[in-house]
Amino acid sequence: MAFRIHRPETVDEASRLELDLDGDCAFIAGGTDLVVQMSRGQRAPAHLIDISRLPGMSAISEDGSVVEIGALVTHRELELGKGLPQGTDAIRDAARQVGGVQVRSIATLGGNIANASPAADLVPVLMVLDAELELRGPHGRCVPISDFIEGPRRTTRQPGELITAIRFRAPGNGSATSFFKAGRRKAMEIAVVNVAASVTLGADGACRSVRIALGSVAPKTLRAIGAEKALAGSPLSVAAIREAAQLAADCCAPITDIRASAEYRRLLVKSLVERALVRCSEQVEQSAMSGISASADNPADLLERSH
Amino acid sequence: MKRLVSMTVNGEEIELAIPPYRTLLDVLRNEGRLTGTKKGCDVGDCGACTVIMDGSPVNSCLVLGIEAEGATIETIEGQHAGPDLPHLIQEKFMDHGGAQCGFCTPGIIMMTKALLKENPNPTESEVRFAIAGNICRCTGYAKIVDAVLAAAEDLRKGRTL
Ligand SMILES: Cc1cc2nc3c(=O)[nH]c(=O)nc-3n(C[C@H](O)[C@H](O)[C@H](O)COP(=O)(O)OP(=O)(O)OC[C@H]3O[C@@H](n4cnc5c(N)ncnc54)[C@H](O)[C@@H]3O)c2cc1C
Ligand code: FES
Ligand code: FES
């Protein structure tokens, strides 16, 4: 590890530096991915551009119905959830399952996205929130997160571009999000499979919108479009959830590696999608003031049985 | 090319000339001569290098020394209840047999301090969740958890961290 460090004071300066240094450099935010990659000799940039103290990238705010999270917000801050509106439980649940407290205290949301690991835990959550990234650089632009990540460690980021913020519409009434992750142990584990879901139910209980994202089962995080379509317009019954979970398991293309076999990953997708949808349905029910209706077809039974 | 970096370590402001690639862990151990903070894996997995930086527990092997410019760092060397008196958490680790070979202990004590500052009344599962980033190859964790819970109890009786 030998490099020069640069400390720009503004986003524009950081962007210009990266263009001037022409390739042989890397932005460093929390460093929890980059320092490990450098310690292992996987990357050896000649220049590091320290963006960890750039102004204006560390806040969580809500403007009207749009939530904005600065790219330098840490997973620890997301886990504590100050400033995150109702219906964003998936952000907290995913953030608290990243590494240990020591990693979460410095690992940033922008880094989790830019590092583009197929197992990144916040990426499926941001996908089901339909989040957009604000990129600043030679030409400012906003891009849906699903168009930003192309594959393992590959993004559409152009030289000189920084992720400065992540934005999404605040989930409204009748909306909920959830996140589930499976690993070989309960904490400090890179996901064998991770799943996020967002659901908006109408007053009649039918799904007005559903999004399901699957991580660690393909070169990049996938939306389970078939499963989403099957649920659209129908209530979240046990049968509908089961069918959607099976469709999700069928649509992914997991690989066998040192941590799990492809078959096992597919089973996990089915089980985690079920749980994620049940959790969303429970949350919508809890936040509706009408109390719990004793339905004979209660999706919560599915959760009980799957434990 | 070395850079001058100043930080406050255990209450003392120090200035060190360090190469930019040196991690905070190596800076503390080499330039800082504070070898209480241990190096297990050097890649964030084991927690042996845990220090408290600006109030938050961090893996010092993941932080570059130059990133600690201006920061306040607490390490195991700064923990005591008075001259020659062990810190409350250290005392409880001794009472409960929470340390065997002791290699993980400085990191776990720093993590415990950070936990108890935020939550002086943790449940057993909260303790286990908080120390999930600290690996111990000797104790099996049961005695560590006992020691942390005992420290929390004394804290609630009025002792300080
Ligand atoms: C022990 C350990 C456990 C972990 N566990 C998990 C886990 O459970 N789940 C998980 O998802 N991840 C995990 N990680 C990975 C890591 O912590 C996260 O991906 C983290 O969010 C990265 O953020 P950072 O700020 O540390 O990024 P850095 O390491 O600073 O940067 C990562 C990459 O992104 C680029 N970058 C950073 N910020 C920006 C920006 N704003 N604009 C453009 N490019 C940028 C950098 O140039 C670099 O290429 C773990 C890491 C460790 C060491
Ligand atoms: S030495 Fe830092 S976590 Fe292992
Ligand atoms: S006491 Fe030996 S590693 Fe924990």
For B87-135, the pLDDT digits (tens) are: 999 999 999 999 999 999 999 999 999 999 999 999 999 999 999 999 9
- ipTM attached to this prediction: 0.96
What the block records as the tokens of B108 is 């776990």
Q: Which residue, among A102, A181, A185, A189, would best test binding to B if mutated, counting the most B CBs under 10 Å from its CB?
A: A102
Q: Which amino acid is at A213?
A: A
Please check whether residue B71 lies inside any domain of the structure: yes
| Tally of domains within chain B | 2
Q: What is the pLDDT of residue A303?
A: 56
Any chain B CB within 8 A of the CB of A242? no
- Asked if residue B36 and residue B13 are part of one domain, the reply reads yes
CB A39 within 8 A of CB A17: no
Domains in chain A: ranges and CATH: 4-50 (3.30.43.10), 60-169 (3.30.465.10), 175-300 (3.30.390.50)
pLDDT level of residue A295 (50, 70, 90 thresholds)? very low
- Asked if residue B109 and residue B66 are part of one domain, the reply reads no
Identify the domain containing residue B116 by its residue range: 88-156
Single residue among B78, B112, B137 that ends a domain in this structure: B78
Single residue among B78, B99, B115 that ends a domain in this structure: B78
Q: What is the pLDDT of residue A291?
A: 47
Q: Match 């042989």 to its residue by tokens.
A: A24
Name the pTM for this structure: 0.95
Choose which residue among B23, B42, B43, B58 to substitute to test ligand 1 binding: the one with the highest number of ligand atoms within 8 A of its C-beta: B43
Write down the mean pLDDT value for chain A: 93
pLDDT level of residue A302 (50, 70, 90 thresholds)? low
Residue A294 has pLDDT above 50, yes or no: no
Q: Provide the percentage of residues in chain B whose pLDDT is more than 90.
A: 96
Q: What is the pLDDT of residue A307?
A: 40
pLDDT tens digits, B37-60: 999 999 999 999 999 999 999 999
C-beta A71 within 6 A of ligand 1: yes
Q: What is the pLDDT of residue A212?
A: 98
Question: Which residues in A63-82 are b (16+ Cβ under 10 Å) and which e?
Answer: eeeebbbbbbbbbbbbbebe
Q: How far is the CA of B69 from the centre of ligand 1 (A)?
A: 21
Please check whether residue B124 lies inside any domain of the structure: yes
Residue A296 has pLDDT above 70, yes or no: no
Between β-strands A149-151 and A60-63, what pairing exists: parallel, antiparallel or unpaired?
unpaired
Q: Provide the percentage of residues in chain A whose pLDDT is more than 70.
A: 93
- Asked if residue B92 and residue B66 are part of one domain, the reply reads no
Instruction: Report the CATH number at residue B131.
Output: 1.10.150.120
CB contact under 8 A, B44 and A99: yes
Please check whether residue B41 lies inside any domain of the structure: yes
Mean pLDDT of B24-29: 98
CB B6 within 8 A of CB B13: yes
Q: How far is the CA of A94 from the centre of ligand 1 (A)?
A: 14
Alpha-carbon gap, residue B58 to B126, rounded angstroms: 18
Alpha-carbon gap, residue A221 to A150, rounded angstroms: 9
pLDDT tens digits, A2-40: 899 999 999 999 999 999 998 899 999 999 999 999 999
CB contact under 8 A, A102 and B133: yes
Q: What is the pLDDT of residue A2?
A: 82
Single residue among B78, B97, B113 that ends a domain in this structure: B78
pLDDT tens digits, A86-109: 999 999 999 999 999 999 999 999
Q: If residue A16 lies in a helix (H) or strand (E), which one and from where to where?
A: helix A11-21
Which positions ≥6 away from B26 have C-beta within 8 Å? B39, B65
- Both ends of chain A: CA-CA distance in Å? 47
Q: What is the pLDDT of residue A130?
A: 98
What the block records as the tokens of A124 is 């499926």
Residue B73 has pLDDT above 70, yes or no: yes
Instruction: Report the CATH number at residue B30.
Output: 3.10.20.30
Contacts of B66 in chain A (CB under 8 A): 5, 50
Q: What is the pLDDT of residue B128?
A: 97
Separation in Å, CA of A30 to nearest CA in chain B: 8
Mean pLDDT of A153-172: 97
- Asked if residue B19 and residue B40 are part of one domain, the reply reads yes
C-beta A155 within 6 A of ligand 1: no
- Asked if residue B69 and residue B30 are part of one domain, the reply reads yes
Please check whether residue B83 lies inside any domain of the structure: no
Contacts of A99 in chain B (CB under 8 A): 44, 133
Please check whether residue B161 lies inside any domain of the structure: no
The closest CB to that of A31, out of B63, B114, B133, belongs to B63
- Asked if residue B150 and residue B102 are part of one domain, the reply reads yes
Q: How far is the CA of B40 from the centre of ligand 3 (A)?
A: 11
Mean pLDDT of B21-29: 97
Q: Which amino acid is at A215?
A: G
- Asked if residue B62 and residue B18 are part of one domain, the reply reads yes
Please check whether residue B49 lies inside any domain of the structure: yes
